[in-house]
Structure 1
Amino acid sequence: MIKEISRKMMSWDSPVFVSHWLLAICFVGAVLTQESERFRLVHVTMGYTMMGIIAFRVGWGLIGSRYARFSTIAPRFLKVREHIQSALNGEKEALMGLSALGFVAAYLLMFLVIFVTATGYLTFNEIGPELISELHELVANLLISVVVVHVGAILLNALYQYFRRNNQEVGGRMASIAVRVRPYKWVAVILMGLVLYFWGVQFKVW
Structure 2
Amino acid sequence: MSDKQRIRVWDLPTRVFHWALVLLVVASFVSGKIGGNAMVWHGRFGLAILGLLSFRLLWGLIGSTYARFISFLPTPNAVIAYLRGQWRGLGHNPLGALSVFGLLGLLAFQVSSGLFANDDIAFRGPLYALVSSELSERLTGWHKLSVNLLVLLVLLHLAAIGFYAHAKKENLVRPMLTGCKEAAPEYGPPATGGGPLAFIVALAFAVATVYAGSGEWVPPPAAAPVSTPAW
Normalised by the length of structure 1, the TM-score is 0.67
The structure 2 residue matched to 1:31, chosen from 29, 36, 46, is 29
The structure 1 residue matched to 2:151, chosen from 119, 144, 155, is 144
**Residue matched to 1:173:** 184
Q: What's the CA shift for 1:17?
A: 0.8
Q: What's the CA shift for 1:180?
A: 5.0
**Residue matched to 1:106:** 100
Alignment of 1:114-129 (within 5 A): 114-123=108-117, 124-125=124-125, 126=128, 127=131, 128-129=133-134
User: In structure 2, what is the Cα distance between the partners aligned to 1:44 and 1:35?
Assistant: 13
**Residue matched to 1:167:** none
Q: For 2:37, what is the secondary structure of its paired residue?
A: coil
Unaligned 5+ segments in structure 2 are 1-5, 118-123, 171-180, 215-231
**Residue matched to 1:4:** none
Aligned length: 173
Letter paired with 2:184 = R
Letter paired with 1:74 = L
Q: What's the CA shift for 1:99?
A: 4.8
Letter paired with 2:29 = V
Runs of 4+ in 1 over 6 A off after TM superposition: 176-179
Quick check: 1:12–1:182 contact (8 Å CA) kept in 2? Answer: no
**Residue matched to 2:19:** 21
User: In structure 2, what is the Cα distance between the partners aligned to 1:32 and 1:81?
Assistant: 38
User: In structure 2, what is the Cα distance between the partners aligned to 1:153 and 1:66?
Assistant: 24
**Residue matched to 1:48:** 47
User: In structure 1, what is the Cα distance between the partners aligned to 2:70 and 2:60?
Assistant: 8
User: In structure 1, what is the Cα distance between the partners aligned to 2:59 and 2:114?
Assistant: 25
- Higher-helix-fraction structure: 1
1:129-157 deviation digits (Å, cap 9, x = unpaired): 22221111111221121111122212211
Quick check: 2:74–2:95 contact (8 Å CA) kept in 1? Answer: no
Unaligned 5+ segments in structure 1 are 1-6, 87-91, 164-169
Quick check: 1:99–1:157 contact (8 Å CA) kept in 2? Answer: no
Quick check: 1:14–1:184 contact (8 Å CA) kept in 2? Answer: no
Quick check: 1:99–1:154 contact (8 Å CA) kept in 2? Answer: no
1:15-37 deviation digits (Å, cap 9, x = unpaired): 11111111111111111111221
Normalised by the length of structure 2, the TM-score is 0.61
Q: What's the CA shift for 1:82?
A: 4.4
* Percent of pairs with identical residues: 26
Superposition CA RMSD, Å = 3.6
* 1:132–1:74 distance in 2 versus 1, CA, 3 Å: closer
